[in-house]
Amino acid sequence: MPARAGQTTRKTRIQSANRERIMAAALEVFSRDGFRGATVDRIAETAGMSKPNLLYYFKGKTDVYHAVLDDQLDAWLDPLRTLDPDGDPIDELRNYLLRKLEMARDYPRESRLFANEIIRGAPILGDELAGPLKALVDEKAQVIREWIRVGRLAPHDPHHLIFAIWATTQHYADFDTQVRAVLGRDGEDRFVVAARFLEGLFFNGLRPR
C-alpha cells in the first residue's frame, strides 16, 4: 500500500472521528440547552477539544447544529418508512407505535433536539418538513387510507393518526421531566406501562367493548 494512501486514510480517520466526537457532543448539548442556550465552548468541552479546533472542523455553531440535525433526521424517520402496505394493519401500526416508543426511551436526546427545533418554528428544518417529511407522511397516509377503505381499520384521519403516534411516544422523551415528576419514583418502569397503555388506547379505545 503506498504511503499516500496510508496518509490519506489516517487523516480521514482523524477527521471523521473528530467530526463524530463533535456531533455527539453537540447532540448532547443542543438537546439539553436548545440552539440559543448551547455554547460552542460547552460543545467543545464536551467533545474534549479546544474551541478553535472545533471550529476547524465546522464553520460555526450553526454549521454544527445543521450537521447534527441532518445526521439524525434520517434515522429519526426510519420507523415510519418501514410501515408496510402489505402487512397486517394492526400489526404494522403496533410495531410503529412501539418502535417509536423505544426510540423515545433509547434516544431521548434526538427527540428533544427535534422538539426544540420545531418549537422554535423549525428555522433550519423548515424546508425538510414541508418537502421530504410531508411527502413521506402523505405516502403513508395513503397506505392507512387504503387499510380503512378495505375495512381493516376503523375510519380515522390518517395524518392525525400519525401525529397522535408521534405525540404520545415522543412525549416520554421530550417531557420526561414531567412524566417522572408526576409518576414519582415508585411503580413499574414507565416505558413498560406506557407501551401497554398506548397499545390499549390506540387499538381498543377507552370505551368498554
Kindly list the residues in this chain that would bind its own copies in the complex (CB under 8 A): 32-37, 90, 93, 112, 115-116, 118-122, 126, 129-130, 133-134, 137-138, 151-157, 159-161, 163-164, 166-168, 170-172, 174-175, 177-179, 181-184, 193-194, 196-198, 200-209
Q: How many CB atoms lie within 10 A of CB 85?
A: 13
49 contributes a contact to DNA by CB under 7 A: yes
| Partner interacting with residue 149 (select from its own copies, DNA, none; CB below 5-8 Å by kind) | none
9 contributes a contact to DNA by CB under 7 A: no
How far is Cα 36 from Cα 162, in angstroms, rounded to an integer? 30
| Of 20 and 178, CB closest to its own copies | 178
As measured in angstroms, the least distance from the Cβ of 153 to its own copies is 6
Cell numbers linked to 26? 453537540
How far is Cα 180 from Cα 157, in angstroms, rounded to an integer? 31
As measured in angstroms, the least distance from the Cβ of 2 to its own copies is 21
66 contributes a contact to DNA by CB under 7 A: no
Q: What mask of x and - would describe binding to DNA in positions 70 to 109, judged by CB under 7 A?
A: ----------------------------------------
How far is Cα 198 from Cα 172, in angstroms, rounded to an integer? 12
As measured in angstroms, the least distance from the Cβ of 11 to DNA is 3
Which residues lie near DNA (CB under 7 A)?
Answer: 10-12, 14-15, 18, 38-41, 49-53, 55-57, 59-62
